[in-house]
């Protein structure tokens, strides 16, 4: 399938019609979109529109993205294997080796793990809030610029990682 300016417009792209024509011309293949000189997030957006990639590719891409952030969860919850198991089942489902029932059970377990993690984070936040508010405010103000820079770097790295995952899935 070609990714065309018309397809992007139908999907409410943020680019102007002129910019879409400049970037895509009459249309680009998914592999060509990977190499465009536009932000990674925009390339991922274009490739994940309905009908561009096969469902199996999209499922495997979602699993690859989840696997990349799994260490964040596991560093805080090293004994909780539910998210890893859910990703494994999702990969097996994408490959036709797991049932919808197995996928639903794995999804429910991962959702429970996320809820448990969110409750733990809320408890930690409440404990922190009970501490010295002035110290916390000073620390927060000092860290705003650092957090913003780190967030920008993390978003760029995540976009690059997503493009690499898509390259691998598309065989490029």
- For residue range 21-44, what is the model confidence (pLDDT) as tens digits? 999 999 999 999 999 999 999 999
Count structural domains, the chain: 2
Residue 149: domain span: 1-52+132-172
Computed from CA positions of residues 38, 42, 47, 50, in that sequence, does the dihedral angle turn out positive or negative? Answer: negative
Question: Does position 128 have pLDDT exceeding 80, yes or no?
Answer: no
pTM, to two decimals? 0.77
**Cβ–Cβ < 8 Å for 14, 40:** no
Q: Are residues 69 and 101 in the same domain?
A: yes
CB atoms within 10 A of CB 47: 22
Nearest-angstrom CA–CA distance, 100 and 7: 31
Q: Does residue 69 share a domain with residue 13?
A: no
Query: Does one domain contain both 108 and 164?
Result: no
- From CA 95, how far away is CA 108, in angstroms rounded? 20
Are 158 and 172 in the same domain? Answer: yes
Q: Are residues 124 and 59 in the same domain?
A: yes
Query: Do residue 48 and residue 14 come from a single domain?
Result: yes
- Kindly state the tokens that stand for 98: 């797991």
Q: How far apart are CA 40 and CA 20, in angstroms?
A: 15
Residues 3 and 36 in one domain: yes
pLDDT tens digits for 53-105?
999 999 999 999 989 988 988 998 899 999 999 999 999 999 999 999 999 99
């Amino acid at each position: 399938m070609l990714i065309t300016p018309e397809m992007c417009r139908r999907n409410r792209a943020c680019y102007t019609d002129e910019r879409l024509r400049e970037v895509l011309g009459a249309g680009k293949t998914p592999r060509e979109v990977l190499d465009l000189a536009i932000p990674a997030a925009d390339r991922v957006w274009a490739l994940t529109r309905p009908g561009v990639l096969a469902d199996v590719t999209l499922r495997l891409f979602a699993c690859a993205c989840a696997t990349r952030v799994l260490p964040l969860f596991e560093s805080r919850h090293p004994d909780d294997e539910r998210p890893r198991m859910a990703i494994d089942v999702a990969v097996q489902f994408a490959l036709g080796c797991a049932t919808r029932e197995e996928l639903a059970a794995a999804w429910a377990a991962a959702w429970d793990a996320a809820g448990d993690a969110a409750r733990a984070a809320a408890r930690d936040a409440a404990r922190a809030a009970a501490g010295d508010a002035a110290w916390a405010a000073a620390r927060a103000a000092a860290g705003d610029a650092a957090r913003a820079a780190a967030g920008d770097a993390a978003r760029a790295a995540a976009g690059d990682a997503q493009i690499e995952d898509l390259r691998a899935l598309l065989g490029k």
